[in-house]
Structure formats: structure tokens, C-alpha cells
Amino acid sequence: MSEEENQPQNIPDTLGLPPNWKECLIDRFSKGFTNEEIISWIARQRKGKFTISMFYRWYHKYADFKEVVDVGNIYKKAWWMAQGRENLGECKFNTPLYVRMMANLFQWRTDNTLVENSDKIDLKKLTEEELKQYRALRDRMKTKGNNGSNGSNGVEKTTDNAYSPADQKPKPVFERTGRD
């Protein structure tokens, strides 16, 4: 195989996409479409002849397709971020669904576990100013904790099997009255 064959190519016109396929994909990504929805659109354009594995083959084979998908994924993430920013205060905004979508689409963490940095800091390599900042941050973390509650690592500790306030479920805003 020559070096020229290993270079990404552009999508040939014979693959069944409309001439404005780039604009169509960018438009869909800009509306928050997932890769699966993009795959579905391409399949419809190609009369059902497109799969997830073909999507990733095209991604690695065709430079223009890769570029559109990469840029489109930035637009997709921006769309989803805007949904949270613009609608979070709305009473009808489905926050649990939004959190789940963000976790699935962009690998957001949804658990409340404390993630500690395992990198060791060599204090001898820090300047005086960096050392002062490190000590101030360390002292602040010791006195406040991550949630400002008890100076621990941010997890409420109880001596019995009772739930801490952080573990209790919030009360529903609206309760059923039985008059449905």
C-alpha cells in the first residue's frame, strides 16, 4: 500500500449523499443531534444503506467527513450546554433528563464520589509563592471540607446507620392529592 493510499481522502460523489451534505450535517449537529441521529439521516439519504460501523469507517477514511463530524460535535456540545444555561431556571425543564443526556453524550460524572488527584506534589520544586498558595488551599480544604459542612473530605459521617442530610431525598414540590 503506498503512502498516498493511507492519506485520508474526500468523500466521493458516488456514495449517495446530496451535494450539500456538509451543510446538512452541520445544521443537524447545531441543533444537538447525536451521532446516531446523524447516522439515521445519512441512512435515509442512502436508501437505508448506512450503519454505525460505516460511520466510523468514513470518519477515519474521509478527511472532509472527519472534519465535519469534529466541528459538528463541537456545535452539538454547545447546543446541549446552551439548553442547560438557558432553561435551568424554567420550572418545566427536565433536569434529570438533561443530566443523563450530558452524562451519556459527553461522559459527565453523575455520581457524587470525591475524585482525588493521585499526582504527588514535590513541595521542594515549588516557589515560595506557589508554596504559600498550596498551604492556603490545603488549610481551607481542611477547615471547610468540600461541602463546607464538617471539615472532612466532604462526606457527612454518622455514628449510626442513619442517613446524613445529604443522603435524604428532597421532598416533592407537588404532592398528589388523590383527586386525579
**Are residue 145 and residue 63 in the same domain, yes or no?**
no
**Are residue 146 and residue 99 in the same domain, yes or no?**
no
In a domain, 113, yes or no: no
* Higher-scoring residue by pLDDT: 106, 5: 106
**Are residue 8 and residue 94 in the same domain, yes or no?**
yes
* Higher-scoring residue by pLDDT: 132, 22: 22
In a domain, 114, yes or no: no
In a domain, 168, yes or no: no
Helix, strand, coil fractions of the chain, as percent rounded to 5: 55, 0, 45
| Residue located via cell numbers 451535494 | 19
Based on DSSP, count helices (H) and strands (E) in the chain, helices before strands: 7, 0
* Higher-scoring residue by pLDDT: 108, 114: 108
**Are residue 36 and residue 86 in the same domain, yes or no?**
yes
117-132 pLDDT per residue, tens? 556 667 777 788 888 8
123 close to 134: Cβ distance less than 8 angstroms = yes
**pLDDT at res. 178:** 52
Q: What is the pTM of this model?
A: 0.55
**Distance between CA atoms of 122 and 118, rounded to whole angstroms?**
13
Mean predicted confidence (pLDDT) in 153-177: 45
**Are residue 97 and residue 16 in the same domain, yes or no?**
yes
102-111 pLDDT per residue, tens? 888 877 766 6
Instruction: Give the model's confidence band at 26: pLDDT under 50 very low, under 70 low, under 90 confident, else very high.
Output: very high
Instruction: Cite the DSSP H helix spans in 31-127.
Output: 35-45, 52-61, 63-87, 95-106
**Distance between CA atoms of 88 and 82, rounded to whole angstroms?**
10
Residue 134: pLDDT over 70:
yes
**Distance between CA atoms of 35 and 32, rounded to whole angstroms?**
10
**Are residue 37 and residue 84 in the same domain, yes or no?**
yes
20: number of CA atoms within 13 Å, CB side? Answer: 4
Q: Which of 80, 86, 85 is nearest to 104 (CA)?
A: 80
**pLDDT at res. 43:** 94
Q: How many domains does the chain have?
A: 2
Triad 16, 21, 24: Cα angle to 5°? 135
Domain with 86, as residue range(s), is 3-106
36-93 pLDDT per residue, tens? 999 999 999 998 889 999 999 999 999 999 999 999 999 999 998 898 888 877 888 8
153 close to 117: Cβ distance less than 8 angstroms = no
In a domain, 167, yes or no: no
